[in-house]
Amino acid sequence: MTEPLLTTKGLSVIFGGLSALTGLDLSIRKREILALIGPNGAGKTTAFNAITGSVKPSAGSVIFRGKDITGWSPPRVARFGIARTFQQIRLYSDLTVIENVMVAGHSSIRYSFVEAIAGVGRFTTDERRIREQAEHLLEVTGLIDVAKEKAQFLPYGNQRKLEMARALALDPLLLLLDEPVAGMNPIETIEFGELLGRLRQELNLTTCLIEHDMGFVMDICEKLKVLDHGLPIAFGTPDEIRSDRRVIAAYLGEG
């Protein structure tokens, strides 16, 4: 069996003496789609924040691509191959769809300030590459027909897809999605699940997501990790999680 792409060992986060996350052991393999689930306040977003460097872990480690990245800054983590989206959509509403993706792609520019002002040298090459990459990602995500529209005028489901296209412009190996289908209607949710499947096939993408839509999660994920009050309580396939008494109790109460 191949080595995991990402592993966390005993990952813990304490805020003001309160444990937001305790002892998270997580293993994600290449091209896997895995979910972190649990009730509100379970520590799921805290786990993402600790993995990506938005918060500093109080204990434990994050190993990615065989390297310890614990405590790295978010930009360094992103450059090393982990991109993420957030619960609240973060788009440049006054920019067009393709401009939003190109802005994200500029993290990989090589040209100098002088070349940019003069519009010569590496500037021309990099800008062409970034536009071509953006067009490809819009093709993959099904947004190429609205490339010139302002982001603020897109339907909600397409705004979510655009947010993911922006993350993909960082050329990640691992994509972390925080409640990607929250607020979507059933048709949008189905389309988004199909998109994740295509991304795995076409881009060899590995995905970890946080989501409260259990039907969506059970349909597209191979494995699920369940948290409750910051503590990992279960791990397994959708069928195993459905029948786990600890999970049922966490969601529905002991009664």
Question: Domain 89-171 adopts which CATH fold?
Answer: Rossmann fold (3.40.50)
* H or E element, residue 250: helix 245-252
Mark out the alpha helices in 73-177 (DSSP H runs).
Answer: 74-80, 97-105, 113-118, 122-141, 156-168
Residues 6+ positions from 189 with CB-CB distance below 8 Å:
181, 213, 216
Q: Mean pLDDT in the chain?
A: 89
- pLDDT category of residue 255 using cuts at 50, 70 and 90: very low
Alpha carbon distance 114, 225 (integer Å): 49
Band (pLDDT 50/70/90 cuts) for residue 114 is: very low
Residue 168: is its pLDDT beyond 90?
A: yes
Confidence band for 178, pLDDT divided at 50, 70 and 90: very high
Q: Is residue 153 scored above 80 in pLDDT?
A: yes
When pLDDT is averaged across residues 191-220 and rounded to a whole number, the result is: 92
Task: Please compute the mean of the pLDDT values over residues 150-158 and round it to a whole number.
Answer: 92
Residue 171 neighbours by CB distance under 10 Å:
17
Give residue-wise pLDDT tens across range 35-77.
Answer: 999 988 899 999 999 999 999 999 999 999 999 999 999 999 9
The CA-atom distances, in angstroms, between 71 and each of 58, 163, 194, 245 are 10, 25, 34, 35
Residue range(s) in the chain whose domain bears CATH number 3.40.50.300: 1-81+172-255, 89-171
Q: Is 233 exposed, middle or buried (0-12, 13-18, 19+ CB in 10 A)?
A: middle
**DSSP assignment, residue 63?**
E
Query: pLDDT-based confidence at 93, cuts 50/70/90?
Result: confident
125 confidence band (pLDDT: 50, 70, 90): confident
Candidates 3.40.50.2300, 3.90.76.10, 3.40.50.300, 3.50.50.60; correct CATH number of 1-81+172-255?
3.40.50.300
User: Range with the lowest mean pLDDT among 101-110, 165-174, 178-187, 241-250?
Assistant: 101-110
